[in-house]
Amino acid sequence: MEATHRLDHDCDHSHDHSAHLRDSSRRSLTAALVLIVGFMCVEVVGGILSGSLALLADAGHMLTDAASIALALMAMHFGNRAASARRTFGYRRLEILAALANALTLWAVSVWVVIEAVQRFSATPEVRGGLMLVIGAAGLLVNLAAAWILHRPAKHNLNVEGAFQHVIADLLGSVAVVVSGVLVWAYGWHIADPILSVLIGVLIVVSAWRLLTKVVHVLLEGAPDHIDVHRLCSAFEEEDGVVTVHDVHIWTLAPGYDALTAHVMVEPDYPAENDGLLDRLRRIAYEQFNLQHVTLQLERSTDLCQEDHDVGSLESRWPEIEGSRVG
């Protein structure tokens, strides 16, 4: 005998929490976009007036910040579109693709920064250090404000984290502009600008790599880092009537939206439907592991599973369970 329970969408409290995170992320991205675009125009004017290529380069970097944030907002907008028969999960995956684009753009920016720095070693431009320093310091404050705005939502949304990493990279660029401005203004050391630019390029590569590894993990449908799969299966198997759990798949569909599918084998004579077992298992998935989409199937045939059902040996028997690859 087999009983299947499929959720139409997600529990109300999980849906509300996810919607709240998305609204908060959208507001933060919009505020950061206004700050960055506004000061980008200031840097362009300041770079022209001071003759500073560093300021113009930083303005170009800010343009990539603005583009990444606009891309993130667009992905979130389309991600809210309703699901259809053709796209049963809607457009939520667009947020992950936007995060991937942000990571690749960061690498492109880092390559451009290094190439520009190498060119300046042989032809360092004369600049007005005082004006460069003032505008660079103002840019540093703007980037600090944008980073502060994006810091909290970046913890819950890979798309926002991509924009946050762009802002952090640009913040480092502003630091380089300030330091270069001080050295040029006080000592006339124009060579300081390309040297610091190479360092910034390396730091941008590191930031891009961290983001890219997270994005690839999601695209490969790996289990979310914050969910202990073995502990979840053990929690299921501790419920009365449950023999074992197999064919387990846990993955992140979009930031803040994790899904679970699993087969739950129960004792042949256990009255699962009348005892509310599925509701208890669902409650564990939602409340203890913060999953948003859960599909569980009950099985009663003892012929489907031959492995040791001891909960304590879950990790050792995990590879032996047919279809139990976490993905």
User: Rounded to an integer, what distance in angstroms lies between the CA atom of residue 255 and that of residue 76?
Assistant: 10
pLDDT for 272 equals 60
Which whole number is the average pLDDT over 91-99?
78
Instruction: Select the more confidently predicted residue: 218 or 85.
Output: 218
Tokens 């684009």 correspond to what residue? Answer: 101
**CA gap 225, 227 in Å, rounded:** 6
Euclidean distance between CA atoms 101 and 92, whole angstroms? 15
Tokens of 20: 């709240």
CB 227 within 8 A of CB 250: yes
- How many whole angstroms separate alpha carbon 323 and alpha carbon 172? 46
Looking at residue 321, what is its pLDDT? 41
CA distance readout (Å), 112 to 52, 86, 116: 17, 40, 6
Copy the structure tokens of residue 43: 């840097």
Q: For 251-308, what is each residue's pLDDT tens digit?
A: 988 777 889 999 999 888 877 665 688 889 999 999 899 898 899 988 885 544 444 4
pLDDT digits (tens, 9 = 90+) for 135-145: 888 888 988 99
Residue 171, pLDDT above cutoff 80: yes
- Is residue 163 a contact partner of residue 29, using CB atoms and an 8 Å limit? yes
Indicate the pLDDT class of residue 250, thresholds 50, 70 and 90: very high
Q: Give the per-residue pLDDT at 253.
A: 83
Q: Does residue 186 sit in helix, strand or coil? A: helix
> Each residue of 29-81: pLDDT tens digit?
888 889 888 888 888 888 788 777 677 777 777 777 787 788 778 777 776 67
| pLDDT of res. 208 | 79
Q: Which of 36-40, 74-78, 170-174, 322-326 has the highest mean pLDDT?
A: 36-40
Structure confidence by residue, pLDDT tens digits, 293-318: 899 988 885 544 444 444 344 444 44
pLDDT of amino acid 18: 56
Predicted confidence (pLDDT) per residue in 176-234, tens digit: 788 888 888 888 877 777 777 777 777 778 777 887 888 888 888 888 888 889 999 99
